[in-house]
Amino acid sequence: MLKILIIVLIILMLVTLGTGLQSLLTHKNPKRLVWILWIRIAIGVSLIVLLIVGALTGQLAVVAPWSGQY
């Protein structure tokens, strides 16, 4: 469940990035661009919190060969 939430947040971050780029290129409404930036910041903060929670609870683990844990 946590991994699905992380993937959804990453996809939402990419969508807001594209929306912000479109708003920046069309120069329609600068308030919309600021609003999209705040949404992207909130998504980024929640993504970091989810990663920390996942690491602390053990739901996300390092499985790299050089980590020494197999």
Confidence band, pLDDT 50/70/90 cuts, at residue 63: confident
b (16+ CB within 10 A) / e for 30-53: eeebeebeebbeebeeebeebeee
Average of per-residue pLDDT across 4-10: 94
Give the pLDDT confidence of 9-60 residue by residue, as tens digits.
999 999 999 998 988 888 878 888 899 999 999 999 999 999 999 989 988 8
Domain of 63, in residue numbers? 2-67
User: Cα 3 to the chain's mean position, in Å?
Assistant: 12
Q: What total number of domains does the chain contain?
A: 1
The predicted pLDDT at position 52 comes to: 93
Question: What tokens were used for 70?
Answer: 């197999």
Confidence band, pLDDT 50/70/90 cuts, at residue 65: confident
pTM for the full model? 0.79
